[in-house]
């Protein structure tokens, strides 16, 4: 799996389309990464005043492992540190045609 990183988000994909490369891709690509299961309730709003942040964290002990947290506050004590990026989804090929 790869992670496509742009200014404020990370998208995880099985492969990057050649079209994207041909058009001058403006992000960075991290190869051979893993992502933990994304929370089923990621987009649910338990409190109408606080929208989920969908923050991507990186394992402190396994450099290729990432995890999505609903709120940045959940990172504390989790063994992951914030990448400063929002979760952009998981797709087979990036970008989707």
Full DSSP string of 8-60: SEEEEEEEE-HHHHHT---SEEE-S-EEPPPPTTTT--SBTTB----EEEEES
- Which residues fall within 8 angstroms of residue 15, CB to CB, at 6 or more apart? 2, 92, 93, 94
Q: pTM of the full predicted structure?
A: 0.87
- Domain around 67: 2-40+51-94
Calculate ∠ Cα 61-75-69, nearest 5°. 105
Percent of the chain with pLDDT over 90: 66
**What is the C-alpha separation between 59 and 77, in angstroms, rounded?**
11
On whether the CB atoms of residues 77 and 47 are closer than 8 A, the answer is no
Q: Please check whether residue 46 lies inside any domain of the structure.
A: no
Q: Please check whether residue 90 lies inside any domain of the structure.
A: yes
Q: Please check whether residue 45 lies inside any domain of the structure.
A: no
* Of 24 and 12, the one with more pLDDT: 12
How many structural domains are present in the chain? 1
Q: Please check whether residue 16 lies inside any domain of the structure.
A: yes
Condensed to tens digits (0 to 9), the pLDDT of residues 57-71 reads 999 999 999 999 999
Nearest residue to 93 (alpha-carbon basis) of 12, 31, 16:
16
């Amino acid at each position: 799996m790869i992670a496509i990183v742009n200014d404020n988000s990370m998208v995880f994909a099985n492969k990057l389309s050649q079209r994207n490369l041909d058009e001058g891709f403006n992000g960075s690509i991290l190869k051979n990464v893993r992502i933990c299961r994304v929370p089923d309730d990621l987009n649910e709003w338990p409190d109408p005043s606080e929208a989920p942040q969908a923050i991507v964290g990186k394992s402190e002990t396994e450099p290729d492992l990432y995890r999505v947290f609903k709120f940045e506050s959940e990172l504390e004590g989790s063994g992951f540190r914030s990448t400063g990026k929002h979760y952009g989804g998981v797709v087979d090929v990036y970008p989707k045609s």
